[in-house]
Amino acid sequence: MEHIEIRFGDHIETPATEEKSFEEMFQSVNPMFCFSKRIWKPQMDIFETRDEIIIQAEMAGVRREDMVIEVSNKAVKISGTRQSSQPDPTATYRLAEIQFGQFERVLYLPSVIDVEKVSASFSSGFLELRLGKLLRKNIKQKHNVSLDFL
């Protein structure tokens, strides 16, 4: 069984905001303006139970080796690439909704998590992350912080 790469760190970096070109501004209106360079955001659900936070991401067409998961105790970053099949240059597209290329989502978590209790599974085009919550008594011990600020 292949494993999903998960990286751990103290903080998650988000890309700097860039100025958008004319084509990029109108990409959402008509995806054909910039067919070769489209950035998409996979659909995701986040829910929590008493003991854990669960993230489910729709990742159809993404291979395990093309995704990276970065985890800190307060955020998760899921990024990677969905490879496209080369469009037929002679075809006339009537509808082009399936997006390919790079993707990135940074999700800020509703609770502090225990990075030692993180697991991931990938099946039928869905990624599921299970993040164990850090118990309130362990937060103060592990991070030496006041609970008033959490």
Give the separation between CA 92 and CA 115, rounded to whole angstroms. 49
* Domain-wise residue ranges, the chain: 6-10+38-84+97-149
The answer to pTM > 0.85 is no
3, amino acid identity: H
Give the separation between CA 115 and CA 70, rounded to whole angstroms. 11
Residues 6+ positions from 103 with CB-CB distance below 8 Å: 39, 40, 41, 42, 62, 78, 79, 80, 81, 82
Give Rg (Cα) of the chain: 19
Distance of CA 34 to the CA centre of its chain: 23
**CATH class of the structural domain 6-10+38-84+97-149:** mainly beta
Instruction: From first to last of the 150 residues of the chain, give the pLDDT tens digit.
Output: 467 777 887 777 766 555 555 445 444 445 444 444 556 889 999 999 999 999 999 999 999 999 999 998 889 999 999 988 767 778 887 887 888 889 999 999 999 999 889 999 999 999 999 999 988 765 555 554 433 333
